[in-house]
Chains A and B, each alone.
Chain A
Amino acid sequence: MEAINALVLLGNYVIVPGIAYGSQLALAALGVSLIYGILRFSNFAHGDTMAFGAMVAVLLTSLAQSLGISIAPFPTAMLTLPFAIAGTVLLVIAFDFAVYRHFRSIRSSPVVFVIASTGVMFVMQGLIRFIVGPRDRDLGDGARFVVNAREFKAALGLEQGLSIKVSQSLTLGITIIAVLLLFWFLHRTRTGKAMRAFSDNEDLARLSGINPQTVVILAWTLSAALAATAGILYGLDKTFKPIIYFQLLLPTFAAAIVGGLGNPIGALAGGFVVAFSEICITYAFKRFLAYLLPENLEPTGLVQLLSTEYKFAISFFILVVVLLIRPTGIFAGRSS
């Protein structure tokens, strides 16, 4: 009984949130990785691309609520997802035409693109604050829990309850669908193969009749769609606050680099590595150990490696360790 309680406790505070957060990071890192693979630069505006997608969802959700449109028990934000994706794709392609296309035509080095993307990031931040302001917005409505902690306890007669939020199960479901679609596209369709070819060897791809402009637009489209989805899921799970997405940039890049930049499977794995590291290291294991250890060995402290304020340091730490030990990432990507 003690062991089951310990397991449920761990599930409730580590495993379920870890899977949800890991999925969100994985989606975000996939977008970063795609742009790195095709356009060969680190897109610092990706965090705010996520914020933009989530913002469109916030606005449309308010609109839908005021019109009385609802898909309860699902959150209204899910209804707005396709529109948010479309809006984000349009914005990102507009930025490509306004900014990045110029640097491609003069064949600038990757560092120029990175700096340009930092500029785009600030413009996007300004745009978002201009439209919705910097405040928190609640994105979630509809039912809150799939599994409620109180009912779970009552049903199983345990001390510890397990709660699974609607947003968490939606996150997992949508991530699985998005990843399957992406992999099917990259490996099964000719256009997807053309993208992989372009990422592998750009000159050769152009000589094989692949139009670089098409590939670039497609890369932005996929990346923006993934960003908007990740942004909305994160906003549903936590809360929508523009600055939060900027702070997500570091764990996102850590995830993409840990897995190997430019490698989709790596980005996926990296997302979960970073998420679980963050949660495990900042989780206080006191109560978990109390269940498992004999009474006289029960810990008196919190058994928490780092307090939660330091969670961003964990991304940094993972990043530094990976770059020192295995700079190509777990699944050797293009950064080698």
Chain B
Amino acid sequence: MVVRIDNLRKQFGEFVSVDDVSFEISSASITGLIGPNGAGKTTLFNTIAGFYPPTSGRVFLDDQEITALPPHRLFELGLLRTFQIAREFATMTVRENLMMVPGDQHGERIWNSWFSRARIAREEAVISTRADDVMDFLQLAHVADLPAGQLSGGQKKLLELGRTMMTDAKIVFLDEVGAGVNRTLLRRIGDAIIRLNREIGYTFCLIEHDMAFVERLCDPVICMAEGRILAQGSMQEVVNNDEVIQAYLGSRGGTTT
């Protein structure tokens, strides 16, 4: 088990966005989070990743409580996330974007940038090599020196994924990594996720609407609706669950099943 969520609840005023959610993410798994729009999936991610403090409930990473820690602390502990709408440092190049990531380097401390130039140069070289590997892996090498703002939507998604590969993360939360991406690129993103999972043992938790993509990658799958977990288990179990079918067809009155 990498992450454990205990009775997590997030309210905005009267509106309950995440309602008493508990689940665990086991090590080296790819957990899929599905559910209709407005189910509270992204809010759940934001609450786990430290963007909003939860109203109640707790989050654990490797048995250490991480509830409401700020994002840069979670990063140091190995919890990373990407955004539904890809974000990038638009004026920096793709390589600079990737090299921005690794925290806890000596250059981060201002006095070191004056006094130990040689050590920083060595570290920069290591990071630069890693950035090259990541760009090769994601087939972004040909745009390495372009400003990230000029990338296509799909390439920005790859860059988001690449950023999580620059550091040794324990768990990566991917928010709709396939949204607005064409089929071919989506397949490439899927391949990259599977390889990272199988070869390096990355743990992922991802929100996705493309069911074929979820089916190919994820086990287990969790379905949320109206802030609550409706079902979890294998893809087959979840999609055959009556409540899940109802939630997706949008009828709570029970006229259709």
- A-to-B contact residues, CB < 8 Å: 189-191, 193-194, 196-197, 200-201, 203-212, 218
CA distance A294 to B247 in the complex (A): 90
Q: Restricting to B95-109, which residues have a CB under 8 Å from any CB of A?
A: 96, 100-105, 107-109
Q: Does B110 contact A (CB under 8 A)?
A: yes
**Do A208 and B103 touch across chains, with their CB atoms under 8 A apart?**
yes
Query: Contact partner of B75 among A189, A203, A208, CB < 8 A?
Result: A208
Interface flag for B113 (CB, 8 Å): yes
A200 with B89: in contact, given A208-B163, A212-B72 (CB under 8 Å)? yes
B81 at the interface (CB under 8 A from A): yes
Tell which of A191, A204, A212 touches B87, judged by Cβ atoms closer than 8 Å. Answer: A204
Q: With the chains together, A206 CA to B100 CA distance in Å? A: 11
Instruction: In the A-B complex, list the 3 residue pairs whose CB atoms are closest, starting with the nearest.
Output: A209-B103, A190-B107, A209-B75
Taking CB as reference atom, which chain A residue is nearest B79? A207
18 A–B contact pairs at CB < 8 A? A189-B113, A190-B105, A190-B107, A193-B100, A196-B89, A197-B100, A200-B89, A200-B91, A200-B92, A206-B75, A207-B49, A207-B80, A207-B81, A208-B75, A208-B163, A209-B101, A209-B102, A212-B70
Which secondary structure dominates chain B's binding surface? loop
Point out the residues of chain A lying under 8 angstroms from B51, CB to CB.
Answer: 203
Q: Which residues of B contact A (CB under 8 A)?
A: 49, 51, 70-72, 75-76, 80-81, 83, 87-92, 96, 100-105, 107-110, 113, 120, 163, 167
Residues of A within 8 A of B100 (CB): 193-194, 197, 205, 208
Q: Which residue of chain A has its CB nearest to the CB of B97?
A: A197
* Nearest B-chain residue to A208, judged by Cβ: B101
A211 in contact with B72 given A190-B107, A191-B109, A193-B96 (CB within 8 Å): yes
Q: Report the separation of the CA atoms of residues A191 and B100 in the bound assembly, to the nearest whole angstrom.
A: 10
Q: A196-B92, A197-B100 are in contact. Are A190 and B75 (CB under 8 A)?
A: no
Min CB gap B147→A, angstroms: 11
Residues of B within 8 A of A205 (CB): 89, 100
Given contacts A190-B105, A191-B107, A205-B89, 17 further A-B contacts (CB under 8 A): A189-B107, A189-B110, A190-B107, A191-B108, A191-B113, A193-B92, A193-B96, A194-B100, A197-B89, A200-B91, A204-B83, A204-B89, A206-B71, A207-B72, A208-B75, A208-B163, A212-B70
